[in-house]
């Protein structure tokens, strides 16, 4: 946000920033925070379940990460390390018994534009299907909902998912697969309207 | 992966791409400010949530709102006491956050308030899963414009727009005099109204049922819809707002009306 960066330059850039931050360069750390604040906030949101708690958790996570930087292993990927700290803060808030909102994510409406745009009817249908699917995800248990959100809504890698969910990397795949099974069963129960089959006709 | 697995995988990926998260707050500034305080301060107790909201207000530079909010945000206990004094049992009042963006419109499209596709009243009735009510009060009746969102919240939402007319002054933001929103919602206990600033909140009775009248400052409006999700709405008219319940429908009326006028209009809806 606000900062431009080339995809090719990113890995080296990140390592350099982390190195500088480890050396006490607060400006370098601020750049890192800016780069990852959206990821951190959204991850915390998925886990804590509310905006205020997510903001609190992400902010506290970034502060703790700064003081933990001397223990960060040089050359290791920064994102999973950061996400583990932020997610832990988010879990603490979820457990602290404060009022929690459910995941209040919203489906963006298709804005038809250009020649390839879907018809208004197809766009409305696609929005409706997505809303149904999101509602079904919302009906899953917390653990299932979180693993699906990490994979599909946050697009985390396996290592990042493991870090965010606080589990071993080896168990991420099986957790996701079980969650998808339950989602599929839930949708079949709700009248068999699995969006994917209908999406193929009406979407995109 | 089997075909079915691929379908669900693709549908979830498609959903992920279309999702909207709440806006990311500017954490970089807040984190940097805290780091400048040094480790001793930052290892102190966590900032409670109300201070986060207060801080956000300060950043927004809303001097007037800040004064009002600072009083109410003095402590969660004080805030609760104020909410109780306002007779808000079952409703949460939350202070904080930037002022709601008011939809501005260009001349010529001043009845289009960013509400979604414009349809006829009949078309709206066909597309939502509830009977659409219109006010029978003198001078109202058939709306000047109707907008429908068939998907969100579940069961759909209809917006009726009335042009300004005698007895129904125009909002300062649009030519519209009155906006009525109808949807199927769950009013309590998840019925939440977020008020920014020092607005007036009044408990009223609409056709024998409970209603709430919000006057004064602009505000956010959140409600839990039929699928249990929280939704947040922008205030479209800067005027006063009445919210009430009829059966499973939640209705909202916005305009430059007094509480009594708003209730009369609400009670005339058939």
- Tell me the helix, strand and coil percentages in chain B, rounded to 5: 30, 30, 45
Q: What is the pLDDT of residues B127-142, one digit of tens each?
A: 888 899 999 887 788 8
Q: What is the distance between the alpha carbons of residues A140 and A134, in angstroms, rounded to a whole number?
A: 10
B-chain CB neighbours of A108 within 8 Å are 18-20
Q: Any idea which of A64-73, A166-175, B5-14, B200-209 has the lowest mean pLDDT?
A: B200-209
Element (H, E) at A16: helix A10-22
Determine the pLDDT at residue A75: 83
Is residue A191 located within the same domain as residue A125?
Answer: yes
Residue range A135-164: mean pLDDT, rounded: 91
Element (H, E) at A177: helix A169-189
User: What is the residue range of A71's domain?
Assistant: 10-95
Interface size A-B, in CB pairs within 8 Å, comes to 163
Q: What is the distance between the alpha carbons of residues B118 and A40, in angstroms, rounded to a whole number?
A: 38
- DSSP 8-state symbol, A149: I
Q: Any idea which of A27-36, A188-197, B119-128 has the lowest mean pLDDT?
A: A188-197
Backbone angles phi, psi at B118, to 5 degrees: -85, 135
Q: What is the distance between the alpha carbons of residues A85 and A166, in angstroms, rounded to a whole number?
A: 10
Is residue A16 located within the same domain as residue A91?
Answer: yes
Closest Cβ opposite residue B34 in set A52, A63, A137: A63
* Domains in chain A, number: 2
Q: What is the pLDDT of residues B36-76, one digit of tens each?
A: 765 533 333 333 333 323 233 222 222 112 222 222 333 34
Residue A110 falls inside a structural domain: no
Closest Cβ opposite residue B20 in set A30, A51, A105: A105
- Nearest CA-CA distance, residue B115 and chain A, Å: 12
Q: Are B242 and B268 in contact, with CB atoms under 8 Å apart?
A: no
Q: Which two tokens stand for residue B87?
A: 């007779």
Long-range contacts, A179-184 (Cβ 8 Å, 24+): A179/A140, A179/A143, A179/A144, A179/A145, A179/A147, A179/A148, A180/A148, A180/B5, A180/B8, A180/B9, A182/A140, A182/A141, A182/A144, A183/A136, A183/A137, A183/A140, A183/A144, A183/A148, A183/B8, A184/B4, A184/B8
Q: What is the pLDDT of residues A45-95, one digit of tens each?
A: 999 887 888 999 999 999 999 989 988 888 889 999 999 999 999 998 876
Residue A144 falls inside a structural domain: yes
Residue of A nearest to B44 (CA): A60
Residue A102 falls inside a structural domain: no
Residues 6+ positions from A197 with CB-CB distance below 8 Å = B7
Is residue A65 located within the same domain as residue A124?
Answer: no
Closest Cβ opposite residue A33 in set B5, B27, B152: B27
Q: Which two tokens stand for residue B174?
A: 């649009």
- Helix/strand/coil for A69: helix
- Nearest CA-CA distance, residue B136 and chain A, Å: 31
Of A61, A95, A129, which marks where a domain is finished?
Answer: A95
Is residue A25 located within the same domain as residue A70?
Answer: yes
Is residue A124 located within the same domain as residue A90?
Answer: no
Residue A103 falls inside a structural domain: no
Q: What is the distance between the alpha carbons of residues B267 and B23, in angstroms, rounded to a whole number?
A: 37
- Choose, out of B229, B233, B234, the residue to mutate when testing the contact with A (most A CBs < 10 Å): B229
- pLDDT at residue B233 above 60? no
Is residue A17 located within the same domain as residue A91?
Answer: yes
Is residue A17 located within the same domain as residue A78?
Answer: yes
Determine the pLDDT at residue A147: 95
- Give me the CATH number covering residue A29: 1.10.1740.10
Is residue A143 located within the same domain as residue A87?
Answer: no
- Nearest CA-CA distance, residue B228 and chain A, Å: 8
Q: Per the CB < 8 Å rule, is A26 touching B35?
A: yes
- Choose, out of B2, B4, B23, B28, the residue to mutate when testing the contact with A (most A CBs < 10 Å): B28
Question: Chain A neighbours among B 56-115 (CB < 8 Å)?
Answer: none
Question: Chain B neighbours among A 88-117 (CB < 8 Å)?
Answer: 98, 101-110
Determine if the peptide bond prior to A61 is cis (ω within 30°). Answer: no
Q: What is the distance between the alpha carbons of residues B10 and A200, in angstroms, rounded to a whole number?
A: 10
- Helix/strand/coil for B253: strand
Determine the pLDDT at residue B192: 41
Backbone angles phi, psi at B143, to 5 degrees: -70, 155
A-chain CB neighbours of B32 within 8 Å are 26, 29-30, 33
Determine the pLDDT at residue A89: 92
Give the gyration radius of chain A's Cα atoms. Answer: 19
Neighbouring-strand partners of residue B220: B194
Residue percentage of chain A with pLDDT more than 90 = 42
Q: What is the pLDDT of residues A110-127, one digit of tens each?
A: 554 444 556 667 776 777
Q: What is the distance between the alpha carbons of residues B146 and B160, in angstroms, rounded to a whole number?
A: 5
- Nearest CA-CA distance, residue A102 and chain B, Å: 7
Owner of token pair 């040094």 = B38
Residue A105 falls inside a structural domain: no
Q: What is the distance between the alpha carbons of residues B218 and B237, in angstroms, rounded to a whole number?
A: 9
Per-domain residue ranges for chain B?
A: 27-60, 118-267
How many residues belong to chain A? Answer: 204
Is residue A30 located within the same domain as residue A72?
Answer: yes
A123 touches chain B (CB under 8 A): no
pTM for this prediction: 0.48
Interface confidence (ipTM) of the complex: 0.81
Q: Per the CB < 8 Å rule, is B49 touching A29?
A: no
Q: Per the CB < 8 Å rule, is A107 touching B47?
A: no
Q: Per the CB < 8 Å rule, is A62 touching B46?
A: no
Residue A190 falls inside a structural domain: yes
- pLDDT at residue B229 above 90? no
Residue A197 falls inside a structural domain: yes
Q: Per the CB < 8 Å rule, is B39 touching A106?
A: no
How many residues belong to chain B? Answer: 270
């Amino acid at each position: 946000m606000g900062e431009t960066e080339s995809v090719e330059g990113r890995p080296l850039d990140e390592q350099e920033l982390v190195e500088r931050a480890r050396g006490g360069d607060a400006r370098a750390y601020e750049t890192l925070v800016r780069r990852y604040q959206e990821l951190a906030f959204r991850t915390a949101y998925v886990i804590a379940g509310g905006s205020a708690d997510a903001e609190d958790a992400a902010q506290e996570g970034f502060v703790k990460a700064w003081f933990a930087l001397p223990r960060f292993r040089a050359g290791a990927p920064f994102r999973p390390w950061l996400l583990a700290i932020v997610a832990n803060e988010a879990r603490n808030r979820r457990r602290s018994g404060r009022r929690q909102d459910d995941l209040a994510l919203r489906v963006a409406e298709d804005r038809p534009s250009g020649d390839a745009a879907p018809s208004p009817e197809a766009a409305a249908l696609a929005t409706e299907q997505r809303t149904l699917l999101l509602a079904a995800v919302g009906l899953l248990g917390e653990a299932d909902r979180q693993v699906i959100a990490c994979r599909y809504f946050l697009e985390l890698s396996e290592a990042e998912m493991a870090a965010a969910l606080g589990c071993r990397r080896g168990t991420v795949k099986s957790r996701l697969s079980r969650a998808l099974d339950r989602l599929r069963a839930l949708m079949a129960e709700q009248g068999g309207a699995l969006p994917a089959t209908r999406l193929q006709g009406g979407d995109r | 992966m089997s075909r079915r697995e691929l379908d669900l995988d693709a549908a979830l990926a498609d959903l992920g791409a279309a999702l909207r998260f709440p806006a990311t707050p500017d954490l970089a500034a807040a984190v940097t400010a805290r780091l400048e305080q040094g480790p001793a301060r930052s290892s102190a107790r966590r900032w409670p949530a109300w201070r986060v909201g207060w801080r956000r207000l300060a950043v927004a530079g809303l001097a007037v709102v800040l004064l009002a909010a600072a009083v109410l945000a003095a402590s969660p206990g004080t805030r609760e006491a104020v909410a109780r004094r306002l007779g808000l049992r079952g409703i949460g009042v939350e202070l904080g956050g930037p002022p709601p963006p008011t939809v501005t419109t260009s001349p010529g499209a001043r009845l289009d308030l960013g509400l979604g596709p414009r349809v006829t009243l009949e078309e709206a009735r066909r597309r939502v899963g509830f009977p659409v009510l219109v006010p029978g009060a003198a001078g109202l009746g058939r709306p000047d414009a109707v907008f429908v969102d068939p998907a969100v919240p579940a069961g759909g939402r209809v917006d009726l727009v009335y042009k300004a007319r005698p007895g129904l002054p125009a909002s300062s933001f649009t030519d519209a005099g009155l906006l009525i929103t109808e949807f199927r919602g769950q009013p309590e206990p998840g019925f939440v109204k977020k008020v920014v600033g020092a607005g007036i909140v009044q408990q009223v009775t609409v056709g024998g049922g409970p209603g709430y009248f919000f006057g004064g400052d602009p505000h956010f409006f959140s409600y839990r819809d039929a699928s249990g999700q929280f939704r947040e709405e922008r205030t479209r008219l800067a005027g006063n707002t009445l919210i009430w319940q009829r059966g499973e429908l939640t209705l909202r009326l916005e305009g430059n009306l007094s509480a009594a006028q708003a209730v009369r209009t609400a009670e005339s809806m058939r």
